[in-house]
């Protein structure tokens, strides 16, 4: 072999080697952390030992739990100038409406929008007037919303067949038969939206308990949504995907695991209108519903005690609640005239000891979720429709992502944070929870990064951070038979001076329900104590 030949082969080999390295370069590790409800602390409830109370406090009302229901109860109590405390286990109040923030933007950790409230959502509308979300009413009586809080256009896009299309109803490559079926389904839903039961109430309403009691309608709750689709002859693959997606988005579980009543409720309950927006517009903020949390927290800040884990609630005429303060490793006993348990039912059951009534959590099933916030050096793009607020991927286990800077008035934010939502519904909740708790931060990041880069190869090298949050019990599941079944009816019963407030009492996990239950519980307390004017 002469020198020239050797050089050419060597160059070829070097090129091949370099290309090989380049093609197989391992994905870089991206910084970020896994947050979660304080599982260790929460789990101590199940049989941990705590020190004896070292101090006793007295207050008129103790609210246990600082999610939306607890905050709503707190705000109502404050308005009545009641003497109260709110105890929250975590460092921050807000429950699954909490948010985070970094140098780029605020971003949601869970709930991230509220649809235009229905007429029946009286409490939520009152709150929105108070916070300036509703700025007034037009001559026709329609609410005028703050322009900057209405979700900006474009609001939704769907990734299908390698392209992004406008809106979430799959259209790319969908034939005339399936499109006709869409029409039939949406007409069907429109009819349900307008329908009133024999009692004159709306068939499907928010809050859920303002819905009609018509047995014919409630029978839909005993069927799975899939069984109902079979019965009504909705067969199209794309329609079924859309409905499955919608259920997973709102309930954390698909067609087989939610009732037909709940599935229809998603489409037929939201009749809110606005003077200055389309009826299907939603209200959103960079921090998601964290914006609302922030307003509620600020209003009652003096009454809030975080890092305070309720470990025992003793029923009685003067109930007592023992609060464990992990940072001081001591227990404080609170003697109250009334207690609002603004916690999910499975927690309430563990807290309550002895007493006049049984607290049952049978039938209460909660969907686990993983939420990832990715800090990016540039906006995601992709072929087809422009980046929207909500970007959904057809047929994916993960739902897709929302863009935190979407409401920004800046022309083109250079950096952004996107929030990726993943309902862990591939296994029954307990098994999914166990599997999820077993995954390391790096494993989660790898799973998320793989999905993101598959969808957005242009983001390679542009992901600055991946922060994660695991929600073991993110939302109540409206399984067939739950919403209009015995377990929920029993849970709705209040037992003064112990009151309950949580969205799981509605069977669906939405802001309107949590907020309304909180206000109603506080009003029950005020009536009980004779404090309501």
Partner 1 sequence: MAPLLLVSVFVIATCGLVYELVAGTLASYLLGDSVTQFSTVIGAYLSAMGIGSWLSRYVRRNLVGVFAQVEILVGALGGGSAALLFLLFERVEMFRIVLYADVLAVGILVGIEIPLLLRILKDRFEFSDLVSRVFTFDYAGALFASILFPLLLVPHLGLIQTGFLFGMLNVMVAVWLLFTWPDIPGARPQRGLALAVLLALLAGFIHAEDITGTAEAATYPGKVIHAQSTPYQRIVLTRSGQDLRLYLNGNLQFSSLDEYRYHEALVHPLMASLAQPKRVLIIGGGDGLALREILKYTSVQQVVMVDLDPAMTKLFASNPLLTALNHDALASPKLHIVNRDAFVWLRDAAAAGEPAFDAVLIDLPDPSNYSIGKLYSLTFYRALHDLLKAESRIVVQSTSPLVARKTYWCVADTLAAAGYQVTPYHTYVPSFGEWGFLLAGQRPWRAPGHYPTGLRFVNAEETANMLHFPADMAYVEGGVQRLDNQLLVRHFDEEWSAYQNAW
When the beta carbons of 155 and 512 are compared against partner 1, the nearer one is 155
Q: Which of 16, 101, 219, 492 binds partner 1 (CB under 8 A)?
A: 16
* Angle 435-441-444 from CA coordinates, rounded to 5°: 60
Tokens of 438: 């077993």
Window contacting partner 1 (CB under 8 A); options: 153-161, 223-231, 296-304, 507-515: 153-161
CA-CA-CA-CA torsion for 9, 11, 14, 16, nearest 10 degrees? -70
Q: Taking Cα atoms as reference points, which of 435, 310, 456 lies closest to residue 377?
A: 456
Backbone angles phi, psi at 196, to 5 degrees: -120, 145
Interaction between residue 426 and partner 1 (CB under 8 A): no
Window contacting partner 1 (CB under 8 A); options: 142-150, 317-325, 504-512, 525-533: 142-150
When the beta carbons of 418 and 526 are compared against partner 1, the nearer one is 418
Binding track, positions 391-420, relative to partner 1; x by CB under 8 A = ------------------xxxx-x------
Interaction between residue 278 and partner 1 (CB under 8 A): yes
When the beta carbons of 277 and 313 are compared against partner 1, the nearer one is 277
Interaction between residue 147 and partner 1 (CB under 8 A): yes
Q: Taking Cα atoms as reference points, which of 34, 101, 126 lies closest to residue 294?
A: 101
Window contacting partner 1 (CB under 8 A); options: 274-282, 431-439, 460-468, 482-490: 274-282
Q: Residue 231, SS3?
A: helix
250 alpha-carbon distance from chain centroid: 7
Window contacting partner 1 (CB under 8 A); options: 59-67, 276-284, 333-341, 505-513: 276-284
Window contacting partner 1 (CB under 8 A); options: 25-33, 127-135, 275-283, 523-531: 275-283
CB of 155 to partner 1, least distance (A): 8
Interaction between residue 219 and partner 1 (CB under 8 A): no
d(CA 108, CA 470): 13
- Alpha helix (H) residue ranges in 272-316: 290-300
Distances (CA, A) of 303 to 296, 298, 348, 518, 520: 12, 10, 21, 16, 19
Question: What's the chain's length in residues?
Answer: 533
Tokens of 326: 């992990």
Instruction: Provide the phi-psi class of 94: left if phi over 0, else alpha when psi is between -120 and 50, else beta.
Output: left
Q: Footprint of partner 1 on residues 74-113 (CB under 8 A)? A: none
Interaction between residue 25 and partner 1 (CB under 8 A): no
Window contacting partner 1 (CB under 8 A); options: 9-17, 100-108, 219-227, 439-447: 9-17
When the beta carbons of 13 and 191 are compared against partner 1, the nearer one is 13
Q: Write down the residue that tokens 């057809």 correspond to.
A: 394
Tokens of 363: 């039938």
User: Any bridge partners for residue 157, and if so which?
Assistant: 166, 391
CB of 371 to partner 1, least distance (A): 25
Interaction between residue 281 and partner 1 (CB under 8 A): yes
255 alpha-carbon distance from chain centroid: 18
Tokens of 39: 């599982």
CB of 465 to partner 1, least distance (A): 21
Q: Residues 6 or more apart from 32 whose CB is under 8 A from it?
A: 441, 445, 465, 466, 467, 468
When the beta carbons of 66 and 115 are compared against partner 1, the nearer one is 115
CB of 294 to partner 1, least distance (A): 19
Q: Which of 155, 181, 294, 467 binds partner 1 (CB under 8 A)?
A: 155
Q: Taking Cα atoms as reference points, which of 394, 397, 371 lies closest to residue 467?
A: 371
Interaction between residue 11 and partner 1 (CB under 8 A): yes
- Alpha helix (H) residue ranges in 147-232: 176-194, 215-218, 225-232
Interaction between residue 27 and partner 1 (CB under 8 A): no
Interaction between residue 230 and partner 1 (CB under 8 A): no
When the beta carbons of 8 and 489 are compared against partner 1, the nearer one is 8
CB of 157 to partner 1, least distance (A): 11
Interaction between residue 13 and partner 1 (CB under 8 A): yes
Interaction between residue 437 and partner 1 (CB under 8 A): no
CB of 286 to partner 1, least distance (A): 13
Q: Residues 6 or more apart from 396 whose CB is under 8 A from it?
A: 451
Interaction between residue 73 and partner 1 (CB under 8 A): no
* Total interface residues for partner 1 by CB under 8 A: 31
Interaction between residue 381 and partner 1 (CB under 8 A): no
CB of 399 to partner 1, least distance (A): 22
Q: Which of 152, 195, 311, 453 binds partner 1 (CB under 8 A)?
A: 152
Strands (E) in 161-286, as ranges, are 163-166, 282-283
Interaction between residue 279 and partner 1 (CB under 8 A): no
CB of 11 to partner 1, least distance (A): 6
Determine how many CB atoms are found less than 10 A away from the CB of residue 381. 12
d(CA 532, CA 506): 25
CB of 171 to partner 1, least distance (A): 16
Buried b (16+ CB within 10 A) or exposed e, 471-490: bbbbbbbbbbbbbbbeebee
Tokens of 350: 């563990």
Interaction between residue 450 and partner 1 (CB under 8 A): no
Window contacting partner 1 (CB under 8 A); options: 146-154, 303-311, 336-344, 486-494: 146-154
Interaction between residue 493 and partner 1 (CB under 8 A): no
When the beta carbons of 412 and 493 are compared against partner 1, the nearer one is 412
Given a contact cutoff of 8 angstroms between Cβ atoms, the answer to whether 326 and 309 are in contact is yes
d(CA 191, CA 188): 5
Instruction: Catalog residues that contact partner 1 under the rule CB under 8 A.
Output: 1, 4-6, 8-13, 15-16, 19, 147-148, 150-155, 276-278, 281, 386, 409-412, 414
């Amino acid at each position: 072999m002469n020198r020239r030949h050797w050089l050419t082969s060597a160059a070829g080999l070097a090129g091949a080697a370099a290309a090989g390295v380049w093609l197989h370069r391992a994905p870089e590790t991206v910084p970020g952390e896994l947050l979660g409800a304080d599982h260790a602390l929460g789990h101590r409830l199940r049989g941990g030992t705590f020190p004896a109370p070292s101090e006793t406090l007295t207050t008129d009302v103790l609210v246990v739990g600082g999610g939306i229901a607890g905050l709503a109860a707190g705000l109502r109590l404050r308005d009545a100038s009641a003497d109260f405390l709110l105890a929250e286990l975590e460092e921050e109040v807000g429950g699954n409406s909490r948010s985070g923030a970094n140098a780029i933007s605020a971003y949601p950790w869970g709930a991230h929008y509220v649809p235009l409230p229905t007429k029946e959502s009286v409490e939520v509308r009152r709150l929105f007037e108070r916070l300036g979300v509703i700025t007034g009413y037009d001559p026709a009586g329609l609410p005028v919303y703050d322009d900057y809080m209405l979700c900006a256009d474009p609001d939704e896009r769907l990734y299908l067949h390698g392209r992004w299309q406008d809106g979430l109803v799959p259209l790319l490559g969908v034939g005339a038969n399936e499109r006709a079926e869409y029409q039939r389904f949406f007409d069907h839903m429109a009819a349900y939206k307008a329908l009133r039961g024999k009692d004159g109430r709306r068939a499907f309403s928010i809050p859920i308990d303002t819905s009609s009691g018509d047995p014919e309608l409630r029978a839909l709750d005993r069927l799975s949504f899939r069984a109902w689709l079979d019965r009504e002859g909705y067969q199209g693959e794309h329609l079924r995907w859309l409905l499955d997606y919608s259920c997973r988005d709102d309930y954390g579980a698909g067609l087989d695991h939610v009732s037909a009543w709940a599935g229809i409720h998603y489409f037929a309950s939201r009749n809110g209108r606005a003077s200055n927006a389309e009826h299907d517009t939603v209200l959103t903020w960079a921090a998601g519903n964290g914006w609302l949390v922030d307003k509620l927290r600020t209003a009652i800040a003096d009454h809030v005690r975080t890092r305070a884990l309720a470990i025992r609630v003793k029923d009685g005429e003067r109930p007592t609640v023992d609060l464990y303060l992990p940072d001081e490793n001591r227990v404080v006993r609170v003697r109250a005239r009334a207690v609002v348990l603004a916690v999910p039912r499975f927690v309430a059951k563990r807290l309550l000891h002895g007493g006049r009534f049984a607290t049952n959590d049978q039938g209460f099933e909660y969907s686990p979720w993983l939420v990832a916030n990715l800090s990016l050096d540039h906006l995601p793009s992709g072929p087809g429709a422009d980046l929207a607020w909500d970007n959904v991927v057809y047929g994916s286990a993960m739902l897709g992502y929302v863009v935190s800077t979407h409401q920004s008035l800046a022309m083109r934010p250079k950096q952004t944070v996107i929030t990726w939502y993943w309902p862990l519904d591939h296994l029954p909740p307990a098994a999914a929870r166990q599997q999820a708790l077993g995954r390391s931060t790096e494993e989660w990041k790898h799973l998320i990064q793989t999905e993101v880069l598959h969808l957005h190869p242009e983001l390679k090298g542009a992901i600055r951070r991946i922060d994660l949050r695991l929600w073991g019990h993110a939302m109540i599941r409206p399984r067939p038979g739950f919403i209009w079944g015995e377990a929920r009816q029993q849970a709705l019963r209040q037992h003064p001076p112990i009151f309950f407030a949580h969205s799981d009492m509605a069977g669906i996990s939405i802001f309107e329900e949590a907020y309304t239950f909180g206000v109603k519980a506080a009003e029950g307390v005020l009536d009980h104590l004779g404090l309501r004017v």
